[in-house]
Structure 1
């Protein structure tokens, strides 16, 4: 496949395939829906609110990890003087390795997200809010990295594209990386579904496909979409396309496949542990992180 075919592949993976997968689920679970018990249990809206706050926290922590690991390798190279900001980084000086180190942020977020997801799936005990935070950290890490790898062949001026150019990757190699990243998007989203469903406070909330779709929407999809507006203050001032495009892409890419695949987890086991959803703590941490971003990181921290 040539590079010019990648936009079609992106459209297939992010639009056509999830729609087809959802329709497949609808067809396969018709009998299950006929036997479903209704009405569903009342929804705990505190969980949705806490989920929104935890996603705001996780997204910005992961973005900080990405920018920090773009800066730290450059700080170790003689002749480069990087500066870390709340929504970006910059550097002065020149060194050939600077182009390679434009890829270290993507690598860091990808590994961080996978590690959080592995931790989450390995242990289904503990406070629900903590496991939900791990879920959003895994979600943010992987879905912040994979779209950058998928577009690296199309945007040579982007971070991943510049690292690929330094490594001497030709069109075929860059296209292969992009395709592997696109394939990984649904696989990782479906991998995260099980621990998300385990956070249900009542087995009836995830007992059948319709209940699971409702649960995923109220526990993850809706909170994540609403959280985009709360992420904006962490990223301003900057051009609006830069302020919005990263949280929109990260959020939509992930929740589309979470929602489309909710029917698939037919044997969800509700996990153990506390089901309290404290609001004051996550809100306080989000506000503290916002103050750190705007008061400390916004002026810039020089690493030289």
Structure 2
């Protein structure tokens, strides 16, 4: 049943929302708008997504390791997209949930900042959008996975609290709905990044803008994420980034037509060199410093 509900909310839900947009009354019929395609925006957004995803995953691993390092009997080792530990303590299972909690809090803080209009600069604002996206959409699917697998990180934390199968299922349903809510909540901050009002004046223009600013960069960024990750199972290296990235992008593409009265900020995203250099530096740190592991004991 949970798998069926997951498919309905993450796949059928966006499809029905997009279909509703096709048949909705065309209130934009008399709006003259020119739609533009900016490959610079695609590239900059791709680099920023790559940075946001890897930083968010690193935050998750740090907050999986630090509580264990402070717990008697546990000796953890930190990698950039993994961790391990030796020793035993009943609290170890509980602390398997602190990573998802940390990323959710980071994502929530970024979402609140966006709704408050901060920051205003185009590239910085897009980076905060991606941090909110990755933080929340990396944490929420783990609740669903935890309800299905007691061996997953959040699943072990659920077992520590002794949650019943019914409680886990309800939590998973709430997390699935939250994925849709978060994705739709990020639409206006994304559309406000447009250079010109005409770029988001019509339903088609708004969908096109989300495609070039969110959906395509997410797919390209997911491919760029792979070199940052240490060799592990294909499930961890490839499938997990897709689970984080795809559902939100589908909901945002499907719902872009609904957002009206968007104020384009008129700030072009020309910051290409800085995110590129930041991504290269982060890759070097991950592979040269963190890949061998940092022991916390």
1:35 aligns with 2:69: no
Equivalent residues in 2 for 1:86-235 (5 A)?
A: 86-123=80-117, 126-235=120-229
Cα distance, 1:152 vs structure 2: 1.2
Match of 1:249 in 2: 243
1:51 maps to which residue? 45
Structure 2 unaligned runs (5+)?
Answer: none
Structure 1: tracts of 5 or more residues without a match? none
Q: Does 1:299 align with 2:295?
A: no
The answer to whether 1:10 aligns with 2:3 is: no
Taking only aligned residues, the RMSD between alpha carbons, in angstroms, comes to: 1.2
For residues 230-279 of structure 1, what are the alpha-carbon distances to aligned partners after superposition, in whole Å with 9 as ceiling and x for unaligned?
Answer: 1000113222221001111111011011111101101211136x424211
Question: What is the rounded CA distance, in whole Å, between the counterparts of 1:41 and 1:12 in structure 2?
Answer: 32
Question: Counterpart in 2 of 1:261?
Answer: 255
1:124 is displaced (CA, Å) by 5.1
Note if 1:282 corresponds to 2:270: no
* Partner of residue 25, structure 1: 21
1:126 partner SS = coil
How far does the alpha carbon of each residue in 1:140-163 deviate from its partner, in whole angstroms, 9 at most, with x for none? Answer: 001101111122111111011100
When structure 1 is superposed on structure 2, of 234-243 and 134-143 the one drifting more is: 234-243
Instruction: Give the CA deviation at 1:125.
Output: 5.5
Q: Which runs of 4+ in 1 moved over 6 A?
A: none
TM-score by length of 1: 0.95
Q: Could you tell me the TM-score, scaled by structure 2's length? A: 0.97
Query: In structure 2, the residue corresponding to 1:83 is in which secondary structure?
Result: strand
